[in-house]
Chains A and B, each alone.
Chain A
Amino acid sequence: MRYPEVILLCLALIFPALFVGGCAPPEDTDRIDIARALSDARDIDCYDTVTGPKPLVFPKDAGPHENFRTEWWYYTGNLTTGQGRHFGYQLTFFRQALSCDPVTGASQWRTRQLYFAHFALTDTRNKAFHAASRMNRQSLGIAGSRVQPFTVWVDNWQVKKTESHLVLNAVSDDITLSLTLKQKKPRILQGDRGFSRKGPGTGNASFYFSLPRLHTQGTITVGETRFQVTGNSWFDHEWSTTVLGDDVQGWDWFSAHLDDGRDLMVCRIRKANGTANGFGFGSISFADGSYVILSETDFTLTPKARWKSPDTGNRYPVQWQIRIPEHDLDLSVTPVMDNQEHTHTFAYWEGAMRFSGPGVQGMGYLEMTGY
């Protein structure tokens, strides 16, 4: 589960600043109420909403769903060089519809779809976190997504499916990512056959599927230095219109590739008072590709230590304990480095994590918003 949707919705709210002002964040960014943004229900009647399960069809559902307001394709992974040097990466693409009315006007620049992308690289040895973002309209092929062959892109940041694998490319200043991802396990349809509830209200849900383990190899360039890397990636694709209910402050989302072949995802949604909203969710994919869906009652997430961002002043709980008794998992989760905060437009923390518990180790990602 990913909720960078908040970012998208808030971006939509501060659209005045985007338009003409460019995508530089307005000065009062942090005063925008995220929960209000998420529960914003202006002019959404004409969008499709997610109200119940429906069969997901592939490859069609891998592509865009423009009748829903928000959509994202999310790639995160942990990679190492031959010498064991670790890198974490995140490359995500978001689609946000500006309107559900059809576009009028003759210009091909007219569009009702915006695309955003975030790219981050965690260079663990150098304790460096590189993050960049891109934003564009879906006009003239500057940004967009398509089903056949599956492609999603903003400028020259791109993920494209070839016959056997996905090719992922991104470059920002002197950081380059060029990876191929090969699917190792069947996709997980999260929630009820892909229908994933996030809140009590009608429509507080999304369609959501994951590719839990993508074997990843390729190159990373940092400055002049090029690294051959291998590792595992996690992929989420999710679309919705009114995903969160009222009174939501943020969420904490974890994914992990464990060395016993299991892949874990758990997430809780926090209310304004800091408690879970009761619609937490998760999944465990087993080494053979079979999986189970978890609900909030199946796991506990306990924050252990906080880190205060020098840039935003936000205090993120960067160390956690995850307990899933039914599956004998008691994992202590620590970041490869503390500062993996995205400070562009909207601040959130998303970074590479180490997972360790009795008899099991792993690497994964943690995303925290609303702190």
Chain B
Amino acid sequence: MGNRPLIRFCLRHSRRHLVRTLLLVFGIAMGVAGVVAIDIAKTSVGKSFELSTRALVSRSTHQIAGTGLEIPQQVFTDIRTDLGIHRSAPVISRHVKVSELGDRILTLLGVDPFSETHFRNLHLSPGEQDLSGVMTGSKGVFISRSHARQYNLDIGSPLHIFLGSRKTAVTIAGFLDSENSATGRMLEGLVVTDISLAQEILEMEDHITRIDLILDQDAAAEKIREHLGEGLFLVETDQQNTAVRGLSYSFETSLTAFSMLALFMGIFLIYNTVSFSVTRRHRLHGILRAIGATRANIFFTVMAEVMVYAVIGSVFGVLLGILLGKGAVQAVVATVSEMYFTLTVSQTHISGFTIAKGLLAGILAAFVSGFFPALSAAGTRPVSLMHRTVSEKGFNRLVPGLFICGLFILAAAALLMRTATPHAGYDFTALFMIFFGSALLTPLLIRVIVRVLLSAGMGSLGMMVKMALRNITRSLRQTSVLMASLMVVTSVFIGIEVMTGSFRLSIIQWVDDHIGGDIHVSSTDPLTQSLDTDLVEKIRQLPRVESLSAYNIHPVFSRASGKVHLFSYRSDQSVKRWSWTAAPKEELDALLENGWIFVSEIFAQRHHVIPRQGAAVTLETQKGPVPFQVAGIFQDFFMGGGRAVVSPETMARFWGHDDITSLQLFLASDTPAEPVMETIRQMLDPEDMIEIRSGNAIKQSILAVFDNTFIITSALQALTAIVALTGILNAVMALLLERTREIGILRACGTLTGQVKQLLLHECFFYGLISGIMAIPLGTALSWVLIHIINQRSFGWTYEMVLIPGVFFQAIALSSAAALAAGIFPALAAGRTHIPTALHME
């Protein structure tokens, strides 16, 4: 028998069940959309990073950098005149905001036009410019033409460059332009000036940020190294870039994994739908086999149908993914910018590869999930049309085996997670194994739970409830797949809820530990962050100030992560939670005094500090690279490349800072903060760029940053839920609609319409309830994995898992409500069952 008429036959069949077919397509589309959107977000982060940094690093192979993120400009003269390295360019760069350009973060890039030949492609658009005095004294800057158009700016228009609250007025001297659209985007992240103006704006006196070099011989690099003084060093541009870029890799990988989770839900959905559809056509397949269709015919027919919808769904999914991708790009770029490195250009990048990946993921998922149902359809015997109950009996025999198999898979997953080489790929494979293993446990669990419910409520349960519960175990083969799906979805909800909840609690705890002060005083002038010592003294002596924590924070260069923040406390009032210490906690301060350092977990991770005796890390200091003994690793949510705490003596000796940049004031109890803040404000000159904020305000702003981090995770959570619910809806509908005959019999036996509805809704409720119950241990396990393995590896943070009972109740309510909602339509339909038609099938 030819396949074509069979396929047509099946397609016609699914056209008749349009709602279900549409749900199937929608489910695949959503799964694919998630994968595509996240892939777009990821590649866009990569692209944005490239565009944000390409203008800055250009074609340089090496850079001369300094510990304090700046170097004396005289080094450039030496490089040119003594060493004769012609392909070298001095650079000043710093992130600034320009009020007239939408207050976005841009890179102020100061260059020497005569040194740029070999480096950057920064072309002025011809014709209109005012270059007079760019080098001799004007304050002319260059911005991208498209940016200027967007904000309606012209040559000569004034701009205000903000560095913190420091403001500099400049004018537009010309526009940067490029015919290449990518370069054009790159230019949008820049405000370019002659190096002289950048130096003046940033008040760098006789310093520049770095020197870019193109060196094609190791000998030249060696020559430079020998020449450089203490505190200056040569870094390889690529290596340095990779280090910075690497900061967010784990985060991005975890996003991919979350998107795969959505697709995984999609696989469950397709499997559900297809297997129900196959069961439904059991009789049809038997007849087809009887009139000469081969097993292969049936198999291909089922697969072809699935694949047709898979392709349609995938195409829609890709389109939807592209739409969602734009939102995802914004969210991901914002998070990456806040947590890891500033992206001055946000470029939505949609590659053919992403689209192909999305299509392939959808089709492959459909293939995998359609394969077994198709195989089972092909196994239909032509003569005796097997009744479902027969296959249920077969399935019932399998239940214990499935349970044991599930346990094995769970054990294997646990082993995989403990693997010596941590890799997000392994972690997520293990996660999928956990889902799959748990799904295999469900038939037995369902049976046990139903029995417990029945026996517990023997006397009190109504007839319909009992029937509903028994119905669940009666068609266990189908209900277990449905409920396993619902369980997985619910557990994902629990997992992510517990993770975010625990994280937020930990953040609050951390903020309380570190920012315990009632009032914070710090400089808002990034150029002179030191607080006046007289002011500090005056504040210290304020009557209601009980104690004061004075410290300084300075960003310094790090080969491993671009830059790290060093803290030194005059008096440290913060509470640290240690992941590891080299000595008993009470001895740690003494170690710090002796020149040891404390490092945060992220710092330790980035700098490969292994928590064991003798752990040390080499940092670039003003005296060259110096190894520091690590006294302890503390839990920390500080962003970027992490931070380290050193003693004030170490800070002064190796980095030359002995100032105070921040104060935390602890007030006598019951003292309101506002009057004290007002007193301090009155001590200041109006032009002092000093910020006085209450502890609460600071805490809120920090929490807001972290909440942003979870926007994308929450979006994925929502997406996963949508995919899953579509699946549930589809599966419940299929399952219930299939029972026309049974309902016909019930109705014929005198069951009222309302009772039938009630029966079905009860069944649905129990699907949800039991799934919700089963989801609790799985969800808990999932959140443990998310917190202790995936998050720890992605962000470098460790925090305690906090189980909130409310989440479990919510989860059970959610799964019950979802299943109940899915049952409403079939229940209404069942109520309308026409008895003769239903029984006619006999």
Q: Could you tell me which A residues sit within 8 Å of B by CB distance?
A: 15-24, 43, 98-99, 101, 103-112, 114, 134-137, 139-142, 153, 155-156, 158, 171
Contact = CB atoms under 8 A, between A and B. Distances in A.
A112 B135 contact: yes
A155 B117 CA distance: 15
Contacts of B192: 20
Contact of B122 (A21, A43, A107): A21
B129 A16 contact: yes
Given A16-B124, A142-B80, 15 more contacts: A18-B113, A19-B113, A19-B124, A20-B111, A20-B192, A21-B113, A23-B116, A99-B136, A101-B137, A103-B136, A107-B200, A110-B136, A136-B115, A140-B77, A156-B81
16 contacts: A16-B131, A18-B114, A20-B176, A21-B116, A22-B117, A23-B114, A43-B132, A98-B135, A101-B133, A105-B196, A107-B200, A109-B112, A109-B135, A110-B137, A155-B86, A156-B81
A49 to B, nearest CB: 20
Contacts of B131: 15-16, 19
B513 interface: no
B123 A111 contact: no
A137 B74 contact: no
Given A20-B111, A22-B119, A142 B126 contact: no
B82 interface: yes
Nearest to A156: B84
Contacts of A43: 132
B742 to A, nearest CB: 79
B113 A142 contact: no
Given A16-B174, A23-B114, A23-B117, A104 B137 contact: yes
A156 B82 contact: yes
A104 B206 CA distance: 16
Given A16-B126, A140-B77, A141-B77, A105 B200 contact: yes
Given A20-B113, A20-B192, A140 B76 contact: yes
Nearest to B80: A155
Contacts of B194: 19, 109
B183 interface: no
A75 B126 CA distance: 36
Contact of B124 (A21, A106, A114, A158): A21
Contacts of A20: 111, 113, 116, 122-124, 142, 174, 176, 192
A217 to B, nearest CB: 22
Contact of B206 (A15, A108, A137, A156): A108
B195 interface: yes
Contacts of B74: 140
Nearest to B90: A109
B195 A104 contact: no
B200 A106 contact: yes
A158 B74 CA distance: 18
Contacts of B86: 134, 155
B134 interface: yes
B529 interface: no
A203 to B, nearest CB: 22
A155 B119 contact: no
A17 B131 CA distance: 11
A83 B798 CA distance: 77
Nearest to B134: A19
A107 B77 contact: no
A34 to B, nearest CB: 20
B67 to A, nearest CB: 22
B112 A155 contact: no
Interface of B: 73-74, 76-77, 80-84, 86, 111-120, 122-124, 126, 129, 131-137, 142, 174, 176, 192, 194-197, 199-200, 206
A290 to B, nearest CB: 40
Contacts, number: 117
Nearest to A23: B117
B688 to A, nearest CB: 22
B116 A22 contact: yes
A19 B86 CA distance: 18
Interface centre among A109, A135, A136, A158 (most CB of B within 10 A): A109
Contacts of A155: 80-81, 84, 86
Contacts of A110: 135-137, 196
Contacts of A21: 113, 116, 122-124
Nearest to A136: B114
A137 B174 CA distance: 20
B77 A109 contact: no
Contacts of A153: 81
Nearest to A111: B135
Nearest to B204: A107
Contacts of A23: 113-114, 116-117
Contact of A22 (B113, B197, B199): B113
Contacts of A171: 84
A104 B194 CA distance: 14
A209 to B, nearest CB: 27
A23 B113 CA distance: 7
B430 to A, nearest CB: 52
Contacts of A98: 135-136
A113 to B, nearest CB: 9
Interface centre among B83, B120, B136 (most CB of A within 10 A): B136
Contacts of B84: 155-156, 171
B196 to A, nearest CB: 4
Nearest to A21: B123
B199 A142 contact: no
A112 B196 CA distance: 12
Contacts of A22: 113-120
A158 B81 CA distance: 9
A337 to B, nearest CB: 26
A136 B89 CA distance: 11
A105 B76 CA distance: 20
Nearest to B83: A156
B124 A111 contact: no
A110 B139 CA distance: 11
Contacts of B81: 141-142, 153, 155-156, 158
Contacts of A136: 80, 114-115
Contacts of A142: 76-77, 80-81
Contacts of A135: 114
Contacts of B176: 20
Interface centre among B111, B115, B206 (most CB of A within 10 A): B115
Contact of A105 (B73, B118, B124, B197): B197
B114 A105 contact: no
B364 to A, nearest CB: 49
B114 A137 contact: yes
B186 to A, nearest CB: 14
Contacts of B119: 22
A24 B120 CA distance: 11
A16 B136 CA distance: 15
Contacts of A104: 136-137
A158 B73 CA distance: 21
A159 to B, nearest CB: 13
Contacts of A111: 135-136
A198 to B, nearest CB: 27
A278 to B, nearest CB: 36
A231 B44 CA distance: 63
Contacts of A141: 77, 81
A189 to B, nearest CB: 32
Given A15-B131, A141-B81, A107 B199 contact: yes
B136 A112 contact: yes
Nearest to B86: A155
Contacts of A139: 196
Given A16-B129, A156-B80, A107 B197 contact: yes
B136 A137 contact: no
A72 B123 CA distance: 29
Contact of B137 (A18, A105, A134): A105
A126 B244 CA distance: 49
A17 B199 CA distance: 22
Nearest to B201: A107
